[in-house]
Amino acid sequence: GENVEQHPSTLSVQEGDSAVIKCTYSDSASNYFPWYKQELGKRPQLIIDIRSNVGEKKDQRIAVTLNKTAKHFSLHITETQPEDSAVYFCAAKGGYNKLIFGAGTRLAVHP
């Protein structure tokens, strides 16, 4: 079945360092990969996404890379700030646009 694995489950960095979160998907037909940031008790917010015809996409301090052959995609956050602390979810689009989410990565950025 459709599955998305996400690593690591927790990540602790110092302010200013970079953070990388990696995901692997199983459905080779997936062609859309969004990343959501969720603060405690709040809704998931779309922060960046990438489609399968693109290998990399960048938005200020956030970038996402996609390796379709290996079925891997990653989120890169540079110059991390305390307000980046949250749970980050990757997802892969399954049939009919349903999103299959990874288990989440709890990122803590320490001042």
Partner 1 sequence: DSGVTQTPKHLITATGQRVTLRCSPRSGDLSVYWYQQSLDQGLQFLIQYYNGEERAKGNILERFSAQQFPDLHSELNLSSLELGDSALYFCASSVNVYNEQFFGPGTRLTVL
What is the side-by-side strand order in the sheet with 56-59?
4-7, 19-25, 72-77, 62-67, 56-59
Distances (CA, A) of 63 to 36, 41, 57, 60: 13, 25, 6, 8
Q: How far is the CB of 92 from partner 1 (least distance, A)?
A: 11
Q: Does 34 bind partner 1 (CB under 8 A)?
A: yes
Decide if residue 50 touches partner 1 (CB under 8 A). Answer: no
Number of residues that bind partner 1 (CB under 8 A): 23
Closer by beta carbon to partner 1, 14 or else 42: 42
CA-derived radius of gyration, the chain: 13
Residue selected from 44, 50, 64, 107 as contacting partner 1 according to rule CB under 8 A: 44
Residue 48 three-state SS: strand
List residues binding partner 1 (CB under 8 A).
Answer: 32, 34, 36, 41-46, 49, 89, 91, 94-104
